[in-house]
Amino acid sequence: MRDEIAIMAETTMIHPETGAVLTRQRRMETVEYMGRKKIVEVVGFFPADDGDAVFIGSDADPMDDAFIELRNLYRSEMKILAKSVRKATRLTQKEASQLLTGSPNSFSKYERGEAQPSWPTFLLLKLIAADPSLIDKIKAA
């Protein structure tokens, strides 16, 4: 296999799977994680259309860094959201866990940042944060 540095110095390459001609260029790419977005500039080999790009060596580092940043932001926000929902509904960690996730220790883990809720659970928490009285409807269901 050719050296990564030699490949990065080239201006075009053929996509190894699609056979499309790719051109080395800078583009703005959107990185998304759990409803959060960040736009970063990356260098890579891109097709003329919206097909798959190829990144060599450290090309994808800006996207990886943005992903980590968004994931950490989400975790931080989840710690606050989980605790605020639980306090607003006057539930213990165990009660909130069993009622909202079915798992006995999930809220403890959310509040410590050790686990992240699924997307549906995240949306449920956002709804309850906006209207804590929804917990009564959930309890009655």
Split into its structural domains, the chain has a count of: 2
pLDDT at residue number 34? 87
Note the pLDDT tens digit of each residue in 16-74. Answer: 999 999 999 999 999 999 889 999 999 999 999 888 999 999 999 999 999 999 999 99
- Which residue type is seen at 140? A
b/e 23-33 (16+ beta carbons within 10 angstroms → b): ebeeeebebeb
Contacts 24+ apart (CB under 8 A), 27-34: 27/53, 29/63, 31/63, 31/66, 31/67, 31/70, 32/70, 33/67, 33/70, 33/71, 33/74, 34/70, 34/71, 34/74, 34/116, 34/119, 34/122
Q: Find the domain containing 45 and state its range.
A: 4-71
Angle CA(126)–CA(130)–CA(131) in degrees, nearest 5? 115
pLDDT at residue number 130? 96
| 97 plus 118 within the same structural domain | yes
Note the pLDDT tens digit of each residue in 94-110. Answer: 999 999 998 889 999 99
| 60 plus 96 within the same structural domain | no
pLDDT band at 8; cut points 50, 70, 90: low
pLDDT band at 141; cut points 50, 70, 90: confident
- Can you give the CATH number for the domain in which 9 is found? 3.10.20
